[in-house]
Amino acid sequence: NAGVTQTPKFQVLKTGQSMTLQCAQDMNHNSMYWYRQDPGMGLRLIYYSASEGTTDKGEVPNGYNVSRLNKREFSLRLESAAPSQTSVYFCASSEVSVAEAFFGQGTRLTVV
Amino acid sequence: EDQVTQSPEALRLQEGESSSLNCSYTVSGLRGLFWYRQDPGKGPEFLFTLYSAGEEKEKERLKATLTKKESFLHITAPKPEDSATYLCAVRGAGNMLTFGGGTRLMVKP
């Protein structure tokens, strides 16, 4: 049982480049989330999807877009990467939007 | 706006020295308070959910308690393998999880 799988695990981008972070869960969860974690800032919600077909902005959505491709997959896209987007990105899922969330192992992104 | 503050930021204990971590919160309509453990380079690992004041949950050397304003994570006779960052989060009426900054726990043998 893999749980929540994120790809890639590490990525270096140049300023202005674009990329998509992939996330898939095999727990049949309805809700999925994207967080970023920065030193001294804790985990901050970027976007979430309460159920298939819906997405909503979180605390720090600027510079990002998301796609809930199906019930299993939730991707995060950086259209034009900036150094301020250097961070560790975590995808999470929960059975419903009020239940505990389970996290992937993270993607460490560096924008130079 | 939901807010979560954890203290202390860092805690050093000797093996066997019990202590508590604090999580203070303000939330509109608490729909759950969650504790996670995070090891370096890994994602947060779920530990407990508490829903109402007075509720307690236990797992091995960890015990979480909840009041109307704060939660405590009590660690009894910790071992070096308990060293990690412990995160607290709340879910309010808006259904989003809001995390605190975490407490970095170091247990020395």
> What is the pLDDT confidence band of residue B17, given thresholds at 50, 70 and 90?
very high
Residue B72 is given by DSSP the state: E
Which regions in chain A score pLDDT beneath 50? Answer: none
Between positions 36 and 55 of B, the ones with CB within 8 A of A are: 36, 41-46, 49
CA angle B3, B7, B11 (to 5 degrees): 150
CA B6-B7-B8 angle, to 5 degrees, is: 140
pLDDT single digits (tens) B38-92: 999 999 999 999 999 999 999 999 999 999 999 999 999 999 999 999 999 999 8
Q: Is the dihedral of CA B87, B90, B95, B99 positive or negative?
A: negative
Q: Give the model's pLDDT for residue A39.
A: 86
Eight-state DSSP code of residue A63: T
Model confidence at B97, pLDDT cuts 50, 70, 90, reads confident
Residues of chain B neighbouring A43 (CB-CB closer than 8 A): 44, 87, 89, 99
CB contact under 8 A, B43 and A90: yes
Candidate from A45, A104, A105 with C-beta closest to B96: A45
Residue B94 pLDDT greater than 80, yes or no: no
pLDDT digits (tens, 9 = 90+) for A74-96: 999 999 999 999 999 999 999 87
For the cut 70, the answer to whether the pLDDT of residue B1 exceeds it is: yes
| Chain A interface test: which of B46, B52, B87 (most A C-beta within 10 Å) | B46
Contact A101 B100 (CB under 8 A): no
Contacts of B101 in chain A (CB under 8 A): 40-42
The dihedrals phi and psi of A85, each to the nearest 5 degrees, come to: -95, 5
CA dihedral B57, B63, B66, B70 (to 10 degrees): -150
Write down the pLDDT at residue A1.
61
Q: What is the mean pLDDT of chain A?
A: 94
Q: Which of A42, A45, A100 sits opposite B34 (nearest CB)?
A: A100
Q: Is B44 in contact with A103 (Cβ distance < 8 A)? A: yes
Residue B28 has pLDDT above 90, yes or no: no
